[in-house]
Chain A
Amino acid sequence: MGEQSNFFYSVPQARHGMLVEPDRDELARQEFVRGFKAYIQSGIVPGVHATYHNEVRPAFEKRTGRAPRDRHEIRTLMVQHPLFRTYASLQRVSQELLWDTVLDSVERELPVLVARANSRNAGKPLGSLSLNPDLALPKYAVGVDIHCMPGGYGGEGGAGDVTAGALYDRGVYLYALGMMGPMNDDIGGSAAKFVRDRYPNFKPKRILDLGCTVGHSTLPFVDAFPEAEVYAIDIGPSLLRYAHARAESLGKRVHFSQRDAAATGFPDGHFDLIVSSILFHETSKKALPAIIRECHRLLSPGGMAVHGDLPPFWAMDEFNQFMLDCETFYNNEPYWGAMREVDQVAESIKAGFAKESVEFCMAPSAYRSAAGHDRDFQAGEFAPGNAWQVLVTRK
């Protein structure tokens, strides 16, 4: 397993006009933390699996005469085990060190990054940037710093700040162990390829990306649909300044604006294609259905929404559910577990989509298939198997 995974780590993150440039010590730190995360996955996670299947579960079955009921019961057993505690503690530590090591580079380069963003966003940009300081930031997005990123998605340290964007872009690359490709764009790239392959006659005129963060998943849609106008929204001003400057530096035309995905303010039927990448698990029980309803309102007749995320719980066994759910408790992801139990198909039908126009599909990983990689999804890491799970709703 270690050898298989190491194959991906040799791909360095692709540079662009906004990416932070670590100095040599910072780079050594970041590479070490990424290696540490990879090591937890290849060196420690298998032991956690073995502990459960060879020790904890048989002991429980002997005591009670039945198997553990669900991921919650597995959790009550595993949290008592020293090996699991070590795993969970190290995973948390690796996450904290990850952001801390990237923050060193961001803090040092911040004046330069702010100046670069200012000059990219001014002048004659290809796309546009529109911030709304009056927007009430949804509590689910800013109540805790999601996945322990200091400052969170809503973080705004002052005029022109791009910290959240710079931190996210570099941090997520390390977090994903480089498995989302050198541009961090595999979810968007795979979803875009999926739409083109499956619906070759579909020609969207306007595309909207919800919860775009730094626009890494947005840009593949610019390439896949060069005739379309591409819009992207998020709630964080620092993220959006960075996202726009990043897209401009890469020569991609995207219109970024600060809006709430549940109430965007765009007119009815304004978009032919609406997409989101790993947005759903970072929302809430109230916001998720509201976002699906908003998509229904925003779609033109014949339009479709494609939402990509990690697999729902029904797609894996209870133990992997439990492992995946650790993010809920240890990585500031309060909706991570609960979201995976939501019947997204039912919610879509409730929102007005016809039953036969709603389905879960697997979008094969564009980066992985192009690179000839082959691997299974393993709970505990942020990386897909050979495909991303997408919810497709057509109007």
Chain B
Amino acid sequence: MSDIKVKRSVKGHRPQFFEDREIDRLHGMVMAMATEMAVLYQRIDTMERIVAAKGVVLREELERYAPDAAAEGERERWRQKFLDRIFYLYREELDDRLSREDEAAYGRFLDEISR
């Protein structure tokens, strides 16, 4: 079961929307980051509501907290996954390059399918 490979990249050339490819990349990055901010917001909001409903003040404990090595390790793994999400377009582009997919190849495929 564990040898099932889940594919992350998309077969088919990724179109470019702006003259400067960096802007395309920025769109991807900004929205991936916005997604993670929404996750955080939702977590914190949940915590605050639950804690407040119990009448607990958390602020001082949060200020004093120091993570141990295991917690720090978990945080670093989280950060690496986070970065992987933000740089997903670079991964896509790399896959495009490796598989030699480009706009012309997609156009030829489109013609073959639709004409």
Interface residue ranges, A against B (CB under 8 Å): 24-25, 28-29, 31-33, 35-36, 85-86, 88-90, 92-94, 96-97, 99-101, 103, 106-107, 110-111, 114-115, 139-140, 143-145, 148-152, 155, 157-161, 163, 284-285, 328-330, 332, 334-335, 337-339
Contacts and interface: CB of A to CB of B under 8 A. Distances in A.
Interface string B1-31: 1111111111110110110000110011001
Given A29-B38, A285-B113, A285-B115, A100 B8 contact: yes
A161 B8 contact: no
A218 B11 CA distance: 28
B109 interface: yes
B8 to A, nearest CB: 5
Main secondary structure, interface of B, reads helix
Q: Sort A-B residue pairs by CB-CB distance and give the 8 closest, nearest first.
A: A144-B12, A338-B114, A89-B17, A32-B38, A151-B7, A157-B4, A158-B4, A284-B113
Contacts of B8: 100, 103, 150
Nearest to B110: A334
B5 A158 contact: yes
Contact of A144 (B11, B24, B43, B92): B11
Contacts of B87: none
* Interface size band for B: 35 or more
Interface in B57-115: 85, 88, 92, 106, 109-110, 112-115
B4 to A, nearest CB: 4
Contacts, number: 132
Contacts of A144: 10-12, 106, 109
A90 B4 contact: no
A140 B113 contact: yes
A89 B32 CA distance: 13
B17 A32 contact: no
Contact of B35 (A29, A88, A111, A158): A29
Given A24-B43, A150-B9, 17 more contacts: A24-B42, A28-B39, A29-B35, A32-B39, A89-B23, A92-B15, A94-B31, A96-B88, A101-B35, A143-B11, A144-B11, A144-B12, A145-B12, A149-B10, A158-B3, A338-B113, A338-B115
Interface of B: 1-12, 14-15, 17-18, 23-24, 27-28, 31-32, 34-36, 38-39, 42-43, 46, 85, 88, 92, 106, 109-110, 112-115
B113 A151 contact: no
Contacts of A100: 8, 85, 88
A334 B114 contact: yes
Contacts of A163: 4, 6-7
B115 A160 contact: no
A163 B4 CA distance: 9
A90 B24 CA distance: 9
Contacts of A106: 6
Given A89-B27, A285-B114, A285-B115, A330 B15 contact: yes
Contact of A85 (B9, B17, B85): B17
Nearest to B109: A143
A100 B15 CA distance: 18
Contacts of B12: 143-145, 148, 332
B96 to A, nearest CB: 12
Given A28-B42, A28-B43, A157 B5 contact: yes
A25 B61 CA distance: 24
15 contacts: A36-B34, A86-B17, A89-B23, A93-B31, A94-B31, A97-B31, A97-B35, A101-B35, A103-B8, A107-B6, A114-B1, A143-B11, A285-B114, A328-B110, A338-B115
A157 B4 CA distance: 5
Contacts of A140: 113
Contact of B4 (A31, A160, A332): A160
Given A285-B114, A329-B15, A335-B114, A150 B10 contact: yes
Contacts of B35: 29, 32-33, 36, 97, 101
